[in-house]
Amino acid sequence: VSSAWHRGSLGEPRDLFALPSARRPPPPPRWPVECEVIKETIEHIEWVPPEPEPFCQPMGHEWPPATLSEEQGTVIYHLSPGSGEQAAPTGAPAVSPSPHRHPSLLPPAVPPGSCFTRARVGGAPGPISSPAAPLEGPHDTTLLFESRFESGNLQKAVKVGPYEYVLTLRPDLYTAKHTQWFYFRVQNTRRDPLYRFTIANLAKPKSLYGEGMRPLLYSQRDAQSCGIGWRRVGTDVRYYRGGGAEPAAFRLSWTVRFPHDGDTCFFAHSYPYTYSDLQRYLRALAGDPVCSQYCAVRALCRSLAGNTVYLLTITSPVGAAAKRVVVLSARAHPGESGGSWAMRGFLDFLLSAHPDAQLLRRLFVFKVVPMLNPDGVVVGNSRCSLAGQDPNRAYGTVLQGSFPGVWHLRAMVERVLAEREVVLYCDFHGHSRKNNVFMYGCDGGGAGTGLRLHQRIFPLMLSKNAPDKFSFPSCKFKVQKSKAGTGRVVMWRMGVSNSYTMEVAFGGSTLGRRNSHFTVEDLKSLGYHLCDTLLDFCDPHPAKFQQCLSEVDALLRQRLGREMGSGWSDVSPSDLES
């Protein structure tokens, strides 16, 4: 897809790499050579539950009753235990089995301080190992675990009771921390027993699991026979501090009954959205002759592993010279998959035939990077890229080779700003400790009264357009030193005054009459609401903008006890935030 308005002048990268085509399948993802990958393709159907899925009753932060320790159990699944590998490389030296370790599970130790070296399609070469203990016969009710697939994350499973398992997540590759995202498969299920699962090495002291959030379950049999997809499950859900002094010492525990005997099921922290999911979506766009008229898919760059970081340019080919630019990105943090679903909803709407979508394409040029950190998504990381660091703290870096996605995104925005105004930058993220949807903006203080309040207008408008999801009181605008390297702050300092991080809760909404989990449809609707809000925000008739400006002014005066008529230039960002 190419035409004159797509090239050159809007900071379009010239290197094309392997781009989506309707005529050929997308290139398979590239993995670090340490990672073993099963050959099966994992795909899930989309489904929206017919009724809201309410939060469960919070169970407090105490240990669940009669939980056995890991040491008292039998290891029944174990990938490489080190920080630098996901799976045991074939032919590695064996570890002597402990009395409780199944003799077939012999993972190697990984040298400390390992780092990414190279990648290939399919990950580790050679035959794949067997990290799961074999069943002893039809009577054996032991679950069979697996996570060596795209975005999968489970390092170890220990059976501590007939139907009770203690699980360990793999830290982000080449780090020893960032355990939050989980996504794994279980087979050999039984329908009647009550199972208990405990993830024993979560990193964060506080989680929405302590507020009533429940994990997600996917039953392959239900998907095939009933068209039912991911659903919230779990009773007696607890989030609590574990024993021991190690830093990642928080535990998530839940009980569940499986819907069928002999089923293949998956558990996940949030609705998975993989790199291959994105590629399938882009392939469908490439095969749509209508979308191809106003959507160009290019390669922004290659990731460290050699996966393409895609850039979409969306606009109507009419009147490009006068258009302002909107820049959107998602999945800097790979474990925040809700950002991809919100981005999917945004693209679905913007590329549709809806009159508002047509108007948006006439008014703006959209630069969209739907997956900034494909390597992290592929390997099942929570926060980091294969550099072993958080890419959303690296926007100020000069290290193009370590953080290619964010480096090239910033460079592209710099080129665009040299020619035209960027009216909005928004980076989609997920939040693990607060419900609802909210934004972080930038108030550096010192600006005139109008400008300081202007940065609060877009989030307020969004809260009016999505009142059952978006919480304006949860928004924050202070620029903290620790956030200096984030996309939002760096773009703001470059001159994008409306620069935001949109945080989408892993849980759901507590607003209006809702007290329930977000569905995939809820997440996708955020993309539509963002489009709607952009039209309100840029409406040439200033009534809505002025109304929101007055509301923000009144809200802040009420909160801080300031009189009408006094300005805001003398108030610090901290005071405005409080």
Residues identified as active-site: 503
| 303 in Cβ contact with 381 (< 8 Å) | no
| 116 in Cβ contact with 304 (< 8 Å) | yes
Q: Cα separation of 156 and 132, whole Å?
A: 9
497 Ramachandran zone, left/alpha/beta (phi>0; psi -120 to 50): alpha
CA dihedral 330→379→221→192, nearest 10 degrees, is: -110
| 116 in Cβ contact with 173 (< 8 Å) | yes
Q: How many CB atoms lie within 10 A of CB 405?
A: 27
DSSP 508-561: EE-STT--EEPPHHHHHHHHHHHHHHHHHHT-SSTHHHHHHHHHHHHHHHHHHT
Helices (H), strands (E): how many in the chain?
12, 23
Q: How far is C-alpha 559 from the geometric centre of its chain's CA atoms?
A: 33
Element (H, E) at 459: helix 457-465
| 15 in Cβ contact with 299 (< 8 Å) | yes
Q: Cα separation of 45 and 47, whole Å?
A: 6
Backbone CA torsion sign across 274, 277, 281, 286: positive
- Grouping H, G, I as helix, E, B as strand and the rest as coil, residue 161 is strand
